[in-house]
């Protein structure tokens, strides 16, 4: 378990955030699970999937187009 302890204080779990993409998310999760999260608790690890810029722009402009069309 990945922990941090100051003198005289209780242990604190250190959170880990891993940014993934559509291409790497599944493989990263599989790697963590097959290696028992490398000694960390699964609750310590957060996978954060980033959205591609193209998808973000497409959604932004589609939302604006729908607002203009139905306004």
pTM of the full predicted structure?
0.61
If you search the block for the tokens 């990263």, which residue do you land on?
A: 28
Q: What is the pLDDT of residues 27-54, one digit of tens each?
A: 999 999 999 999 999 999 999 988 777 7
Rounded to an integer, what distance in angstroms lies between the CA atom of residue 29 and that of residue 15? Answer: 16
In this predicted structure, the answer to whether residue 1 has a pLDDT above a threshold of 60 is no
**DSSP track, the chain:** --EE--TTS--EEPPEEEEE-TTTHHHHHHHHHHTGGGGS-GGGEEEEEPPPHHHHHHHHHHHHHHHHHH-
Burial class for 16, CB neighbours closer than 10 Å (0-12, 13-18, 19+): middle
């Amino acid at each position: 378990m990945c922990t941090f302890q100051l003198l005289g204080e209780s242990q604190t779990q250190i959170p880990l955030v891993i940014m993934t993409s559509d291409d790497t998310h599944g493989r990263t999760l599989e790697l963590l699970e097959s290696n028992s999260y490398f000694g960390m608790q699964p609750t310590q690890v957060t996978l954060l999937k980033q959205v591609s810029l193209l998808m973000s722009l497409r959604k932004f402009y589609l939302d604006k187009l729908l607002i203009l069309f139905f306004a």
